Structure formats: structure tokens, C-alpha cells
Amino acid sequence: MTATLERPAPARKRTVTPARIALHVFLVLTCLMTLAPLLWAVYASLRTYEDTSVNGYFSIAKSLTFENFAKAWEIGDLPHFYWNTLLITIPALVVTLLLSSMVAFGVSRFSFKFNIALLMLFTAGNLLPQQVIVTPLWRLYRLIVVPEWVSESGSLIDSQLGVILIHIAFQMGFCTFVLSNYMKTIPYELTEAARVDGASVFRQYWQLTLPLCRPVLAALATLEFTWIYNDFLWALVLIQDGDKMPVTSALQNLKGTFFTDNNLIAAGSLLVALPTLVVFFVLQRQFVGGLTLGSTKG
């Protein structure tokens, strides 16, 4: 069977049929159309305000410059906000994966009566619209007392910890779902054998199951990084100190109340998108793996 499958493939590659050419033309055009908005933003970001305000955007650039990027970097204080994002994203990511792998391990390796109920709870929670929980969450955060070295406000309000916590609580749903589906495909004999050998539950989880889940964990990590990085609402609602905002929410700072310079905004937008684009290009396979995992095992 393998042979019959393999043979026509190389042969097909060489023959250039009109259908093939049409396919390539179609795909190239589609790709260009997909990339067009981004390329347009890049083009705008490389032009000066003086140029576009006189000639409009739909014109040949007088000169191209990286000035806008330097300006956005400085005015937007981007290094600072990137750092804020990192402070939120990485801990949220690690803890989410840790906690959801625990739940997934529990429900996929042991049969409890509440297994499915628990999974449903997590999955449903992840699908809720965020706005539904905003107000009570804010109130709840104000009631939770934390030491001042964790949050200057003395509560979870206006603290990065608060944002991290809600990301964990929310994103756990998706990760638990994906991880439990994956763990179910790991042969039961494996943990059973370990159990017979006297391995503790924790050992079965930490040393046996988790290493096998490495590809899924990597995929989920890539995906969750993008999602948490791109979050806009939680920080907007829960953080009051402008200096603590993550970079996605801080982008608004570039959109001045008093002076609008679309070229600058374009440059700023591209800079904000940069980390996710880098992750995308470097870890593309993990990213794709993560997305498709949830689906084919559903």
C-alpha cells in the first residue's frame, strides 16, 4: 500500500498540467491578498507624515524611513510594555499548563463518577464570553487581600497577579480538554504497569505521562502564548496603573487624543505584533500542532 501511494507522487511533481498552473496562480493570488493588509501597513509605516498628509497614502513614497519605528518604540515606551506582557504571559502560561495537565491526568487515567462532569465544567467555562464575568470578578478581586509586596493596592485589583490568575482560570478549560483527549490515546497498559510496580500517582503523572505529552504541551504553550499575549480586555478592566498595562492594551497610547499620525500607528502596531510573528515563524509547527490537536481528537 505504501508503494502504491508513493509512486505517483514524484511523477506528479514533474508533469506540469494546466490545472496545476491554475492552482498555483490561484494560491499565489490568495496569499498575496491575505498578506496585502499587512504589507500595506508596512508600507504606511515606512513613510513620513509630511509625505502622506500631502500626497495621500495611495501614492509612491517620496522616501522610506525607519523613523516611525524608532519613534513608536520610544514614545510608546515599548520595551517597558513588552516586559509587562512577559511578566503576565509566562507565569500564566506555565501554571495553566501545569494545572490543566493535572486535571487531564486525573480524568483520563482514573475513572471517577464526576469525570465527565468535571471536563464539561472546564470546557464550558473556557467557552463563556469574557464580559459575562467582568463585574463580579472585579468585586471579588477587591475583596481578596494579598500582601503588599504582591500588589501595591493590597488586593488583586491593579495587580499583574490578578490578570495572571484570570488567564489561568480561563485558559485551563481549553488546555484540560486538549490534554485529556491526548492522554486518553496513551495506552492504559503503561500506567497500569507502573502502578503494579508501585509507582505513586504523582510519579505516574510527572515522570510517565507528562514526558509523553511533551509535543502537546509544546504546541499548547505556543498557542496559549499567542492568546494571552493578544488579550485586550482583562488588562483593560483589571489594571488601573498605566505603567502596568501589557503591550496590546498599551497600543492605545500611540493613538493620541491630540495628534493622529497613522504612519506612527502602523509602525507601533507592527512592533506590537512582532513577538507573535516571531513565535509564529520560529515555532510554526508547534503552533499548527496545537490548533489541530484540539480538533482531530475531539
Residues 177-196 close enough to bind another protein by CB under 8 A: 184-190, 192-193, 195
Between CA 158 and CA 27 the distance in angstroms is: 47
With binding defined as CB under 8 A, does residue 72 bind another protein? Answer: no
Nearest partner of 168 among 155, 151, 186, 156, judged by Cα: 156
Please report how close the Cβ of residue 119 comes to another protein at its closest, in angstroms: 7
Among 78, 163, 166, 179, binds another protein (CB under 8 A): 166
Q: State CA 32 to chain mean position distance.
A: 24
| Cβ distance to another protein smaller for residue 65 or 194 | 194
Q: Please report how close the Cβ of residue 12 comes to another protein at its closest, in angstroms.
A: 6
In the list 61, 67, 73, 90, the residue contacting another protein (rule: CB under 8 A) is 90
* Contact predicate 121/176, CB 8 Å: no
Host H or E run for residue 235: helix 233-238
- Contacting another protein within 239-268 (CB under 8 A): 240-243, 248, 250-253, 255-260, 262, 265-266
x/- map, 34-53, another protein, by CB under 8 A = xx-xx-xx--x-------xx
Q: Interaction with another protein in 94-133: which residues (CB under 8 A)?
A: 94-95, 99-100, 102-103, 105-107, 109-111, 116, 118-125, 127-133
Q: How far apart are CA 95 and CA 99, in angstroms?
A: 6
Angle between helices 78-109 and 115-127 (to 10 degrees): 160
Which of 208, 220, 224, 267 binds another protein (CB under 8 A)? It is 208
Q: Sort residue 56 into left (φ over 0), alpha (ψ -120 to 50) or beta.
A: left
